[in-house]
Amino acid sequence: MPAPIENTEDWTPEDQRQKISELDDNVVDVTGYSISYVRTIFMYIGIIFTCGLLRLAFHWFPHWMLMCMNKECALIKAEKILVKDVHGVRYIHDVVVEITGTAGSCAKPSYVRKTASFMLSQVSCSEKEGKMMCYFVHKCVRYVWDSKTNRFELPRGWHETTYEEILDSKPLNNETVLMNRALYGMNEISINLTSIVRLLLDVCLNPFYCFQIFSCILWYSDEYWMYATCIVVISIMSLSWQVYELRRNEKTLKETMCISSSVIVYREEDGVKGMHIFYFSVILFMTCMMTTCVVCATDVDRYK
């Protein structure tokens, strides 16, 4: 299990970047960024002087905005993470620092660093260990900071587990369950529906529609009323259809993922040896994120 974050201010430039392996064994580059108020001020000045065109360019290329507002820093001090995969696609993620000892509360890294010394001074030495956990989520997978290796690592459990380890495993106690729940998060995939207004704005800010708007303004100024009006009507119909398709796809995905089944999990104090999980006589849906999953029907029938 990754170790808790250490209170350290020393870092080297080598800590700004690292390579991590995804579940499909692809290696991606990870770079840490922290907010720079000077750069942010100059960026907003540039947006004002360009009448918003610079902000539109940042919408198309979010990593440009990240680099203009933030500066590279050590990964342990990062507030934003830039992930670049083997295909050159970039992803931007927020770094979350979770205080596991205070009802699972979360806060921004900068806030936690300002209050960390005060919080740690209020608890005993035994309570300090494992107090804070730093992670970011990439493709629905949580990467946790390991202070022993000074790297973001996949928590143990995403890697291959042999059958011998599963058969020899013992029921977990409540303390381990709480620690694992804080480390891995809830065992669910949450699909949130995007609002119609947000979908409409995202589609309208597409470079194609921005070009259409600019062209229609020129045509109306040159009194090409008929041609410009036809383009406007066709663009509105196309835009409405795209928003409808996006919304329908989101609903379909949400309905597909919202499937659950009930199980009984026996903990250490229950005194159950051997079989730890018993399935009820219900239809079992299991999402396999990596490797294969085999369910023996005879074992399920045996414990109905």
In terms of domains, do 82 and 217 share one? no
* 190 inside domain: no
In terms of domains, do 249 and 124 share one? no
Higher pLDDT, 280 or 220: 220
Q: Is residue 65 exposed (0-12), middle (13-18) or buried (19+ Cβ within 10 Å)?
A: middle
Stretch 117-138: mean pLDDT: 53
In terms of domains, do 154 and 282 share one? no
In terms of domains, do 21 and 151 share one? yes
* 175 inside domain: no
Helix (H) or strand (E) holding 227, with range, is helix 225-257
Strand boundaries in the chain, DSSP class E: 17-21, 27-35, 70-72, 80-84, 90-94, 96-99, 105-107, 132-138, 141-146, 151-153, 263-265, 277-279
In terms of domains, do 107 and 221 share one? no
In terms of domains, do 96 and 152 share one? yes
In terms of domains, do 17 and 46 share one? yes
pLDDT at position 43 is 92
Give the 3-state secondary structure of 232-260: HHHHHHHHHHHHHHHHHHHHHHHHHHCCC
Stretch 157-180: mean pLDDT: 71
Please give the Cα distance from 28 to 154 (Å, whole number).
Answer: 13
* 45 inside domain: yes
* 170 inside domain: no
In terms of domains, do 237 and 281 share one? no
Higher pLDDT, 169 or 142: 142
* 174 inside domain: no
In terms of domains, do 25 and 117 share one? yes
Full-model pTM: 0.66
Q: Please answer whether residues 267 and 172 qualify as being in contact, where contact means their C-beta atoms are separated by less than 8 angstroms.
A: yes
Please give the Cα distance from 19 to 25 (Å, whole number).
Answer: 12
pLDDT in tens, 104-126: 444 444 444 443 333 333 333 33
pLDDT at position 160 is 61
pLDDT in tens, 83-107: 998 888 899 999 988 776 544 444 4
Domain count within the chain: 3
* 228 inside domain: yes
* Mean pLDDT over the full length of the chain: 73
pLDDT at position 73 is 87
In terms of domains, do 34 and 63 share one? yes
Both structure tokens of 138: 């990439």
Please give the Cα distance from 99 to 102 (Å, whole number).
Answer: 6
pLDDT at position 8 is 39
Stretch 205-213: mean pLDDT: 89
pLDDT in tens, 28-68: 889 899 999 999 999 999 999 998 899 999 999 999 999 99
Please give the Cα distance from 33 to 14 (Å, whole number).
Answer: 14
pLDDT in tens, 2-18: 444 444 344 444 567 88
pLDDT band for position 233 (cuts 50, 70, 90): very high
In terms of domains, do 151 and 269 share one? no
- Parent domain of 282: 263-302
Annotate 177-215 with b (16+ C-beta within 10 A) or e (fewer).
eebeeebebeeeeeeeeeeeeebbeebeeeeeeeebeee
Does residue 127 register a pLDDT over 50? no
Please give the Cα distance from 92 to 73 (Å, whole number).
Answer: 15
* 143 inside domain: yes
* 168 inside domain: no
In terms of domains, do 106 and 234 share one? no
